Amino acid sequence: MKTCILGAVAFLALGGAAHAQTPGYAVPRTSFGHPDLQGTWTNVSLTNLERGRQFSGLVIAPEEVAKLETQRASMRAAQDRPTNPDDGAPKAGQDVGGYNAVYTDPGTRFGVVKGEARSSWIVEPADGKIPYSQKGKKIFDDTLAFRRTTFDGPEARPLAERCLIGFGSTAGPPMINVMYNSHYEFVQTPEAVVINVEMNHDARIIPLTDKRLPTSMHKWMGESIGRWEGDTLVVETTNFHPDEALRTFFASTFYVSPKAVVTERFTRWSKDQILYEFSVNDPDILDRPWKAEMSLNLTDDVVYEYACHEGNYSLPGILAGAREDDRRGIKTEADLSE
């Protein structure tokens, strides 16, 4: 399994002056003179986007970190045990579960930023929560309910279920860790930076230009435009595809409207770490912008092909099950709520 301990980085506010690096560290340069971000990086971690209720603040005390990571290791060991052949078949209607643990890689450590273990990637607001407005929270809740309970056809299902882009917000932007495939391959040219996202092999092509496409052209993952501010790559993404507004992944499910502006900052912090900061400004959904920071860590792991459609039996199975419910006259939650 792929694991990587997130190393310590120093805290630097978003949108400020060029960031300093680790003392004595000289940022490597490409052959064309740009700061070199190339390589394979990972954000795999037990830290989630938003802060869980079990945490009282942004920083987790060392003794609590040790306790929680030990508990997670015990849970993982239990999940890895062979299935008991004497358990018998599941009862009719019983949830048989999803992925076996062998297919997942949720990480073994909490993210460490500014030398501190973090309970969330979000640093502003101080409570580690996305500051939805009342209107925005209703849009989020209604959209989530629709995706969970509507089976009229493939277009109603989440994008990842249709193998269009990775689930959660792995490609983003912002790019958030999920339960596996949290690796990113950076490639640079004088004119662009490309981030090949392991989940579903989404490729973010970020041109270093000030020219934008017509707003009528909605690209998956929005339109990203990059520029260099000193040693920091600054990427501004706008004009998100409406179908990508809902990013679903357990504790890291959130909403980004088509009108949102996401600003990312990538700074080479050391030979094996990139400081990744991002902010989301979305007045139609939020009371105020939110900001976050994480570390991307160099890894020797290989990014393998993510062959989603070749084995995607779930979508036709889900729709076939819904049609069988229709035949039997069984109402879905969406039908009952109307």
Taking only the tens place, the pLDDT of each residue in 74-109 is 999 988 888 888 888 888 878 777 777 888 888 999
Q: What is the mean pLDDT of residues 286-301?
A: 96
Cβ(119)–Cβ(55) under 8 Å?
yes
- Segments in 106-169 forming alpha helices (H): 134-149
Q: What is the mean pLDDT of residues 305-332?
A: 85
Q: Residue 292, Cβ neighbours under 10 Å: how many?
A: 23
Residue 213 CB contacts under 8 Å (≥ 6 apart), including other chains: 219, 223, 239
Q: Quick one: pLDDT band at residue 307, thresholds 50, 70, 90?
A: confident
Average pLDDT, the chain: 88
Asked whether residue 302 carries a pLDDT value surpassing 60, the answer given is: yes
The reported pLDDT for the residue numbered 94 is 82
Q: Residue 103, Cβ neighbours under 10 Å: how many?
A: 10
- Segments in 15-94 forming alpha helices (H): 62-79
Q: What residue type is 175 in one-letter code?
A: M
Residue 164 CB contacts under 8 Å (≥ 6 apart), including other chains: 200, 220
The reported pLDDT for the residue numbered 87 is 84
Strand order of the β-sheet with 112-113 is 59-60, 116-118, 112-113
Q: Quick one: pLDDT band at residue 9, thresholds 50, 70, 90?
A: very low
Asked whether residue 16 carries a pLDDT value surpassing 70, the answer given is: no
d(CA 292, CA 128): 9
